[in-house]
Chain A
Amino acid sequence: MKRLIALPFRKSVEIAFLSIRVRFFRSLVTTMSLVLAVAFLCFMRSSNDFAQGFLATGSVEAYQAIVQAGYDVSLETMTIAASAKQRWIVTLSLLVCIVGIINAQLMSVTERFREIGTMKCLGALDRFIVRLFILEASMQGLAGSLCGAIIGTMAAAASALLSFGTGALSTDALQPLAVSIAISVVTGTSLSLLGVIYPAIIAARMQPVEAMRVEQ
């Protein structure tokens, strides 16, 4: 007889989802830094998209308004480039975000040492534990990034409305906007996954005997 221990994928998703739901507040805090970072990334990108769309109307007033609002317009191609400063700030915010995620996930692993140890005593393999953490992180990542992207886009739309008036919301901006949102969501989810790798490995390497320890 093959001595195999199994955890069906659907069951892992169920457990991961339960874990998030029960520790909702903690998950919310973990996800918050991600939401903010992704919102910032998405805001930067979609602001440029809106300005680009406005620029595409071709009027001189539009050009003036955009330059006045502080966008870098390259004259040859008539496109708006993300400035080096913008890129730096976004990169930094994403870096800070990933450090925050690692920190929060490490805390959550420490908090759940006994739970993980117990699962191992019941026969869980290292990779079940890794899978649970990765599933949790991807759910948090996806939800957080979606929220962040929506917040970022709405903020960008509001700011474009304020600076350029209704002309800014041209249909030309729709496609690049969708791309921006997609990029933000993918980036956010990957960050969340990247941040959980190290904590998940620590959790998986834990010895089941830890579950026996009485002191918390």
Chain B
Amino acid sequence: MKKKQIVRVSGVTKNFDLGKIVVEVLKGIDLEIETGKYLSIMGPSGSGKSTLFNMIGGLDKPTSGKVFIDEVDIAQLDAYELAWLRCRKIGYIFQTFNLIPVMTALENVTLPMTFAGLSNDDAVERGMELLFQVGLEGRHSHKPSELSGGQQQRVAVARALANTPAIILADEPTGNLDLTTGEDIINLLKELSRERGVTVISATHDYKMLNVSDQVVWIRDGRVDKIQDRSDLDIKTGGLTEER
């Protein structure tokens, strides 16, 4: 049986018009992402990694080519459908956490549920459950400024899961965290992806991410350099130890 693809990127290019010069950031990317995979997009800064990532998240539109999420071409969606997609299908996790500073942890988690039309009581109940799952029980009434970086990112993970999305997009989720906290967040994401079958796509240059990824896409100079499955990665690390 052919596995279901949640994201399909075909022939995507993206140019940025900087007035006098046009910069080609993506030069034709084809990519298929299977449901339930934990995928990392790796690449040096300036490789077009973030641009590709934003395309997949429906935050930016390609110059040419198409991006399909759940077999729907996102270029065809109007503002309402796009908002719906962002609200229900995709959960975003940011490098800078991006919690709403005026709201408590619980309110941050329940906000997307309110957008989705959940009643307040249901949202609060589910929000508490999610906060418990990410290990923040008893912290629900704290403001983001009263939480540590790792805790804030946990709230962000809970928020991303609020409407049981099919995809979680994490943009350098460990970029602003120290080693151990970063590892905690990676493990949390991995666990959630395994338990719930959520597709996790993360842009990163954190090599810790490789250990948990099912698939790693290497981007170089606006093109897909190589796509490695987990098994390939194991062989590679094995090869390295042999050389030593």
Interface residues of A (CB under 8 A from B): 3-8, 11, 15, 18-19, 21-23, 114-115, 117-126, 128, 207-209, 211-212, 214
Contact = CB atoms under 8 A, between A and B. Distances in A.
Interface stretch (B20-28, B76-84, B194-202): B76-84
B76 to A, nearest CB: 13
18 contacts: A3-B80, A3-B81, A3-B84, A4-B80, A5-B83, A18-B102, A114-B98, A115-B100, A115-B101, A117-B98, A121-B59, A121-B98, A122-B87, A122-B111, A123-B116, A125-B80, A207-B60, A212-B171
Nearest to A114: B98
B37 interface: no
Interface residues of B, number: 33
Contacts of A11: 114, 120
Contacts of B84: 3-5, 123
Given A209-B54, A214-B96, A125 B83 contact: yes
B159 interface: yes
Interface of B: 50, 54, 57, 59-60, 79-81, 83-84, 86-88, 92, 94-96, 98-103, 111-112, 114-117, 120, 159, 171, 175
Given A118-B94, A208-B59, A214-B95, A123 B101 contact: no
Nearest to A14: B107
Contacts of B94: 118, 211-212
Q: For the complex, would chain A's binding face be called helix, strand, loop or mixed by DSSP majority? A: helix
Nearest to A18: B102
Contacts of B112: 122-123
B101 A122 contact: no
A188 to B, nearest CB: 25
A18 B83 contact: no
A8 B223 CA distance: 44
A170 B196 CA distance: 75
Given A208-B59, A212-B50, A118 B114 contact: no
Contacts of A5: 80, 83-84, 87, 115-117
A25 B28 CA distance: 50
Given A123-B86, A126-B79, A8 B114 contact: yes
